[in-house]
Amino acid sequence: MPPIRVRFAPSPTGYLHVGGLRTALYNYLFARKNKGTFVLRIEDTDRTRLVDGAVENLIATLSWAGLTFDEGPTVGGNFGPYVQSERLEIYRDHARKLLSQGKAYYAFDTPEELEEMRKTQEKMRVPPKYDRRALRLSETEVKSKLDAGVPHVVRMKIPETSTIVVDDIVRGRVEFVSDRLDDQILLKSDGFPTYHLANVVDDHLMGITHVIRGEEWLSSTPKHVLLYEYFSWEMPAFAHLPLLLNPDKSKLSKRQGDVAVEDYRQKGYFPEALLNFVALLGWNPGDERELFNLETLVDEFSLERVGKSGAVFNLEKLQWMNTQHLRLMTDDQLFGLLEPYLEKAHLGSLHREYVLKVIHLMKERVDRVEEFISFGGYFFADPESYDNQAKKKNWKPESSTYLTEAISSIRGLNTYDEKSIEDVVRTIAERHGVGAGKLIHPLRLALTGLGMGPGLFELMAVLGKETCLRRLERALARLVEH
């Protein structure tokens, strides 16, 4: 059996779609699991849909996700070029071979003629397909038109009555009747190939052994099978992945939410979480496990465990996974991810040791990295206001007495840590014959401006003695005033 070679072949038409990320991931996992080669190929032959910078963005996004390719535009390889617009003569040469064998033909129809053909077929209620009028031209007429430079395409000649079988790893045996297939354009009038010719030629010349792609390409596969047969080439194995669906079971689209990987990256989702999430959109490990990193996915992955039915893109599940992956990270890892947010918030001068304490304390209370700042702003600045609802609930007339005593006791502490802070609070509560909560809640309000957060004693230990005293005195004046 030849060495496994797979490819991810996106079109540079914008940002990488989450469905594209899943296709790239499954190809990557299959290659790594089987000690094979993962190829990146850029399919840019549709010149009307190109977006400047899209190739660079695709490569940067794959890099962010950790899906490193072995061959491709920026790393080279023995089967390049890996950008289709740089391989045009290869496709034209293969189109000429098909023409010479009578397996393809020139067609000179104008857009207006094709539109009229479509309307006529619509009226007759027959499936729209090319009516092969170009095949009625004599060799002399064809040559005359070519010599005159009449715009033309090259069409594939589909057998009229045959059954084309696709043996798909995911979907099993799928049969297509040839007379329902259109004579696909292989070479467009601009000299560029269509996807169908270019991808088959490239997959063969690049030694691709397994074509793993989305279900939307299944209906095109019989044409690809025919091309392999026309060229007398060995067929790769096919695996068509199930569709990604919105919660209402419609095809995933940006009308119902973000579909670009870049959107999730900008919102602070971890690549590990996004990969874990999309891996389970169609594949399952055969048990109840849900959390995987890239290494464990490689160990577990197989195409045989990819299902046929569409997979629902559940944003709540992604958010949950992101939280779980955050919890699994070390404080040092999170510090590295938090640094850019600290710089952006002009907090880059904070001591690393202090920020690590904040991370350790808040790790169980946030879902994304930026929330260390947005949810824990009181670690980085004194509160400017106090939550009204928390004030109504927790600030009582006697609270000022408790805070005054707390300030005095804290100021007199020689050892300032969680235990000594807790001892102060409980001693004052016992002195007044009340539960510790009668002090804890107003203390938290005074220190953070909020009614909830991490454990008070740990919070005060992280903030430090001077910061706590300053905030308590300031809050005492402000809260009593109001």
Catalytic amino acids?
A: 254
Question: Is the distance from CB of 117 to CB of 107 less than 8 angstroms?
Answer: no
93: its two tokens: 């040469």
**Three-class SS of residue 375?**
coil
How many Cα atoms sit within 13 Å of 280 on the Cβ side? 20
Q: How far apart are CA 369 and CA 158, in angstroms?
A: 55
Within 8 A by CB and 6+ apart from 196, the residues are 156, 184, 186, 220, 223, 224, 227
User: What 3-state class would DSSP assign to 104?
Assistant: strand
Only one residue has tokens 């729209």, namely 128
Tokens of 338: 């938090």
CA 328 to chain centre: 20
Please state the length of the chain.
482
Cβ neighbours of residue 236 under 8 Å, at least 6 residues apart? Answer: 203, 208, 209, 210, 211
Compute the distance between CA of residue 97 and CA of residue 248 in angstroms, rounded to an integer.
47
Alpha helices in 124-190 (DSSP H): 139-147
